[in-house]
Amino acid sequence: MRKTIRYLILALLLVAGAWLLIRTYQSYQLKKKVTESIQNLPSACFESLNGRPICTDEFDNRKPTVIIYFHPECEHCQYEASEIGKNAQQFEEVNMIMVTPDDSIKRLEDFAANYHLWEVDNLAILIDRKREFKKRFGSAVSPAVFIYGIDRKLVKTYKGETKIEAIINSLE
């Protein structure tokens, strides 16, 4: 009886170990695929504050594109938004796309007003209602910054709070 229990436990451990290995491998493959796919600006559609769908490939392809994943209640995101608002003139020749999973229009409008984001001419604040961001960009860390050149190729990625100087320098 003890031998049977030992074999059963060993079999369960082997199955669990195999399952963990398979899941780890699948996660690795997915991460690798996403890392390769974001080397060129992925086409992803989100929703504007007025409910209209807007896709990343609709923005001016003669300008660099900065995509920032944020949440209005995140302190690090608030800092970045504040710095972007203060340096609005630095982003005049840039497509600025800010994407959030938060679907409170009032909270997003207040956020944009508090941090002077409406002063950035080429800024779009978009809502990720369908949770597409992570699928397309591989990360849903708030904040995350993806910078693409005019050739739509990835220049730089930042995860977490990023100094505005680093973003501006990556655009040059």
Burial of residue 54 (CB within 10 Å: 0-12, 13-18, 19+) is: middle
Q: Which residue from 2, 145, 4, 150 is spatially nearest to 81, judged by alpha carbons?
A: 145
Report yes or no: 74 and 99 within 8 Å, Cβ to Cβ. Answer: no
Q: Is the pTM of this model over 0.85?
A: no
Q: What CATH number matches the domain at 45-171, 3.40.309.10, 2.130.10.10, 3.90.180.10, 3.40.30.10?
A: 3.40.30.10
Q: Which residue has the tokens 């992570």?
A: 134
- In tens, the pLDDT along 60-105 reads 889 999 999 999 998 999 999 999 888 888 888 899 999 998 778 8
Q: Where are the domains of the chain?
A: 1-37, 45-171
- In tens, the pLDDT along 108-143 reads 999 999 888 888 888 899 999 888 888 888 777 889
